[in-house]
């Protein structure tokens, strides 16, 4: 059912062997998450280097500075300075937290349902017909050359770029988790409950994710693929399904 649109530049964002950094971001929220991570790591590494320097300088000397004992000014400094550092980390963290929960007016709503062990999707915004399909992992023996083992699916979730999208996430049986790192998406799929995630794909590409909540013996075999394409190709995909 899913088509690859060869007339649009398409990039595959998948983790590589021994990769330590994040995958390339494809949404404004994920870009801000990476910026916050780098900012926080810079502060932590600066503190770590400073403490190591102090330990190295003080370990080799058996000199006691009597002014260190009950020094009120020094105690005020080493109390206020960490508080300031924590505040500089807390402010952008809270700002990003509220940004991820911000309710936007969606231009497209998709429902994602976790099952043991596959995903099913529904496009219900179209009056003519509700589009429904399932997405199973492609077995290793059926993969084509260049495909990614345990990550390819038979039907991809197609979305348009630069469009405010809302995904309603639930489960039909047990707990699952809908996670796509490049888009900054991670939400639990809970039976009998709808979780909501808003995002915007800022560029075309193929973005891989997986269920990240232990859901049974085949937990590792229910990947997620979201393919972002331009509005023309997305419209063609929808018309082929209606």
The per-residue pLDDT for range 200-223, each reduced to its tens digit, is 999 898 999 999 999 889 999 999
- The total domain count for the chain is 2
Q: Clarify whether residues 127 and 90 are in a common domain.
A: no
Distance CA 208, CA 61 (A): 54
Token pair listed for 230: 């331009």
Q: Clarify whether residues 152 and 118 are in a common domain.
A: yes
Residue with tokens 């916050």: 36
- Please, which pLDDT band fits residue 65 given cuts at 50, 70 and 90? low
pLDDT of residue 1: 47
Largest Cα separation within the chain, whole Å, is 83
Per-residue CA distances from 120 to 20, 151, 154, 168 (Å): 31, 16, 12, 12
- Predicted structure pTM score: 0.81
Range of the domain at 89: 28-62+69-101
Q: Clarify whether residues 231 and 151 are in a common domain.
A: yes
Is the pLDDT reported for residue 232 higher than 50? yes
- Please, which pLDDT band fits residue 89 given cuts at 50, 70 and 90? very high
Phi-psi region of 81 (alpha: psi -120 to 50; beta: other; left: phi over 0): alpha
């Amino acid at each position: 059912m899913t088509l690859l649109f060869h007339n649009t530049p398409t990039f595959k964002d998948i983790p590589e062997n021994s990769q330590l950094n994040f995958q390339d971001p494809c949404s404004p929220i994920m870009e801000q998450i990476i910026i916050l991570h780098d900012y926080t790591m810079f502060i932590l590494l600066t503190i770590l280097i400073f403490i190591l320097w102090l330990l190295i300088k003080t370990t080799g000397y058996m000199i006691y500075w009597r002014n260190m004992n009950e020094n009120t000014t020094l105690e005020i400094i080493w109390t206020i300075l960490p508080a300031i550092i924590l505040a500089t980390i807390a402010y952008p963290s809270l700002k990003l937290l509220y940004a991820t929960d911000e309710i936007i007016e969606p231009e497209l709503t998709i429902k994602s349902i976790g099952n043991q062990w596959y995903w099913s999707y529904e496009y219900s915004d179209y009056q003519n017909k509700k589009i429904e399909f399932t997405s199973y992992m492609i077995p290793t023996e059926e993969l084509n050359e260049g495909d990614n083992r345990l990550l390819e699916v038979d039907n991809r979730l197609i979305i348009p770029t630069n469009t405010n999208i809302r995904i309603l996430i639930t489960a039909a049986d047990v707990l699952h988790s809908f996670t796509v790192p490049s888009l900054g998406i991670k939400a639990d799929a809970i039976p009998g409950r709808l979780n909501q995630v808003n995002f915007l794909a800022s560029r075309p590409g193929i973005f891989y994710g997986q269920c990240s909540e232990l859901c049974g013996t085949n937990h590792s075999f229910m990947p997620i693929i979201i393919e972002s394409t331009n509005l023309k190709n997305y419209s063609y995909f929808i018309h082929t399904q209606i």
